[in-house]
Amino acid sequence: MKDAATSDQTTCCVVGAGPAGAMLSLMLARNGVPVILLEMHQDFEREFRGDTLHPSVMEIMDELGLAEPLLNLPHTKLRQFGFQTPTQSFTIADFGRLKTKFPYITLIPQALYLEFVIAQARTYPHFTLLMDANVRELIREHGRVVGVRYTRRDGVTHELRTVLTVAADGRFSRLRKLAGLTPAASSPPMDVLWLRMPKRPGDTLAFGGRIGGGHILAILERPDHYQLGYVIAKGSYRALHEAGIETLRASLATLAPELADRVDHLESWSQVSVLSVESSCLRKWHLPGLLLIGDAAHVMSPVGGVGINYAVQDAVVAANLLSQPLRAGAVRESDLAAVQKERYLATRVIQTFQAFVQTRIIQQGLRPEAPFKPPLVLRLPCLRALPAHLVGFGICRAHVARV
C-alpha cells in the first residue's frame, strides 16, 4: 500500500459500527477515552440483520439511563418462544419467569438500534464516527499493532495511530484476517432462508416456530411485517432452488396456514436471503495492541438470537476493564487477556447450548420420516426458566461499571 496521504492519532480505534463497536465506542467516550469508530458502509441499513435485544442488553441500557428512550422506538416484545407441530405445541423459553425489569426479548430493527446508540455517543466530545472508512492494513511496530490504514470513497489512504485497535467488524472480520488469526469453527447441520411476509390488521399469528414434514419455520413479528426463517439442511439450498419458488411457497403455507393467503407475495428468489450457519470461536482474542470482540472473536449460530447480546456484553466488559488503562495511555496485553477471560466461558457455554438445540431439536425436526419428540428438558414446565435464563442472560450478567 502507498504511504498514507493523511495521518491522525487517537487513543482507541474501533473498527465496525455494529452492536459491539457502537456500544464500546459509546462507553469509552462516556468514560473520557478519545475514540474513533470506523465503519466501511455509508449507512446502517442491511437486510435481515439480527434485531433481538435480550434482557441482558436491556438491563445494560437501563444502567446507562437509555432503556426508556430506546423503548420509545418502534418495537415488539417476545415473552415466550416455542414450537408447534401438527400434533402438539411446547415452550422452549418462557422469559416471563425471569427476575428482571425486562422479562421479554425486545425486537427492534438493528439499524434503529445502532442509530440510537450512535446518537448517544455523539453527545460526548471524545467520540468521532467515520463512515465509508474501509480498513486495508494494520500498522505494526516492534511486534505491536499501533493503528490502521484505511481508504474512503475518494481512494485516498489515511493512517490512524492508536494506543489500542479493536476489531468489531463482524463474522467476516477483515482485521481478524489481517492479524492472521483463525477461529476454531464448527458447521451446524443447517442453513436459514430469511424472508418477509406482509402483516395485516387483525393478524393473530403467534411468535415461535413450526415443525412438520421435515421442515422448520421460525416466525418473528415486526411492527409492519413478519420475518420468517425457513430452516433447511446444510447444503440443500441448491436442490430447493431448482425445485422452484412455488415449492417454498407451498411449504410455507403448510407450516403456517395463517400465511397461506399471502405466500404469493414471495415472487422470486431475490426476496430470499441465505444465511450459511456457522459457529466459531478464537482461542485467543488479542495481540499486543489489538482486541477482537463480538462476531470477530466468536461467530454465533442464529439459535436463540444471542449474537447481538454477546457482542454488547463483550463491549461492556471491554469498556469496564480498559477505560482506565486507555486514559493512562498504556494498555498491556494482560489487560486484553482479562477481557477474554471474563467473556470466554460464557461464550463457549452458549455455543454448547446452541449445538444442543441444533442436534436435538432442529436436526430431528428436519427428518420427515419420524415424528418430532422434544427433549425432556422442554417437556417439563418447571424447567422452562432454564433455557430462558441461558438465552436471556447467559451464565453471568455484564454490568456497567461506575465511572
Domain definitions of the chain by residue range: 6-185+278-392, 189-275
In what helix (H) or strand (E) does residue 209 lie, and over which residues does it extend?
Answer: strand 208-212
For 18, how many CA atoms within 13 A lie in the half-sphere containing its CB?
26
Contacts of residue 37, defined as CB under 8 A and 6 or more positions apart, other chains included, come to 13, 14, 17, 21, 22, 25, 121, 127, 128, 129, 130
Better-scored residue on pLDDT, 381 or 15: 15
- pLDDT at position 49 is 67
- pLDDT at position 207 is 65
99-103, 348-352, 358-362: segment of lowest average pLDDT: 358-362
The CA angle 388-394-396, to the nearest 5 degrees, is: 130
Instruction: Read off the pLDDT of each residue in 41-69 and give the average, rounded to a whole number.
Output: 89
Contacts of residue 79, defined as CB under 8 A and 6 or more positions apart, other chains included, come to 94, 95, 96, 103, 104, 105
Number of Cβ within 10 Å of residue 66's Cβ equals 16
- Take residue 106 and report the three cell numbers written for it: 425486545
Instruction: Read off the pLDDT of each residue in 195-205 and give the average, rounded to a whole number.
Output: 84
315 pLDDT above the threshold of 80: yes
Which tens digit of pLDDT belongs to each residue from 337-353? 999 999 999 999 999 98
Shortest CA distance to 329 belongs to which of 31, 28, 33?
Answer: 33
Which tens digit of pLDDT belongs to each residue from 166-190? 999 999 999 999 999 999 988 777 8
The separation between CA 229 and the C-alpha centre of its own chain, rounded to angstroms, equals: 15
2 pLDDT above the threshold of 60: no
Q: What is the dihedral of CA 9, 15, 18, 19, to 10 degrees?
A: -70
149 pLDDT above the threshold of 90: yes
Q: What CA–CA distance (Å, rounded) separates 209 from 217?
A: 5
Single pTM value for the model: 0.91
- Take residue 32 and report the three cell numbers written for it: 473520557
Of how many residues is the chain composed?
Answer: 403
- Per-residue pLDDT band for 369 (boundaries 50, 70, 90) equals low
Instruction: Read off the pLDDT of each residue in 266-278 and give the average, rounded to a whole number.
Output: 92
- Per-residue pLDDT band for 85 (boundaries 50, 70, 90) equals confident
1 pLDDT above the threshold of 60: no
- Per-residue pLDDT band for 280 (boundaries 50, 70, 90) equals very high
The listed range with the strongest mean pLDDT (250-254, 335-339, 352-356) is 335-339
Question: CA distances (Å), 341 to each of 12, 330, 348, in order?
Answer: 21, 20, 12
For 240, how many CA atoms within 13 A lie in the half-sphere containing its CB?
21
Q: What CA–CA distance (Å, rounded) separates 329 from 284?
A: 23
Do residues 223 and 236 lie in contact, with contact meaning Cβ atoms separated by under 8 Å? no
Query: What's the fold here for domain 6-185+278-392?
Result: FAD/NAD(P)-binding domain (3.50.50)
Instruction: Read off the pLDDT of each residue in 15-37 and give the average, rounded to a whole number.
Output: 97
Q: What CA–CA distance (Å, rounded) separates 14 from 38?
A: 6
Q: What CA–CA distance (Å, rounded) separates 402 from 303?
A: 33
Instruction: Read off the pLDDT of each residue in 123-134 and give the average, rounded to a whole number.
Output: 97
The listed range with the strongest mean pLDDT (76-85, 88-97, 232-241, 319-328) is 319-328
Contacts of residue 252, defined as CB under 8 A and 6 or more positions apart, other chains included, come to 197, 217, 228, 230, 259, 263, 266
Q: What is the dihedral of CA 34, 36, 37, 38, to 10 degrees?
A: -170
Long-range contacts at 233-242 (CB < 8 A, ≥ 24 apart): 233/189, 233/190, 233/191, 233/366, 234/187, 234/188, 234/189, 234/190, 234/191, 234/276, 234/277, 235/191, 236/191, 237/191, 237/193, 237/274, 241/269
DSSP 100: S
Shortest CA distance to 11 belongs to which of 40, 39, 26, 32?
Answer: 32
Q: Cell 407451498 maps to which residue? A: 250
Do residues 262 and 332 lie in contact, with contact meaning Cβ atoms separated by under 8 Å? no
Q: What CA–CA distance (Å, rounded) separates 191 from 301?
A: 10
Instruction: Read off the pLDDT of each residue in 111-133 and give the average, rounded to a whole number.
Output: 97
Ramachandran assignment for 5, one of left (phi > 0), alpha (psi -120 to 50 degrees), beta (any other): alpha
Q: Which residues of 147-185 are buried (b: 16+ CB within 10 A; e: fewer)?
A: bbbbbeeeeebbbbebbbbbbbbbbebbbbebbebebee
Q: Give Dmax over CA atoms of the chain in angstroms.
A: 67
Enumerate the H helices of 304-396 as residue ranges: 307-328, 333-357, 363-365, 376-379, 385-392
- Take residue 111 and report the three cell numbers written for it: 439499524
DSSP 90: E
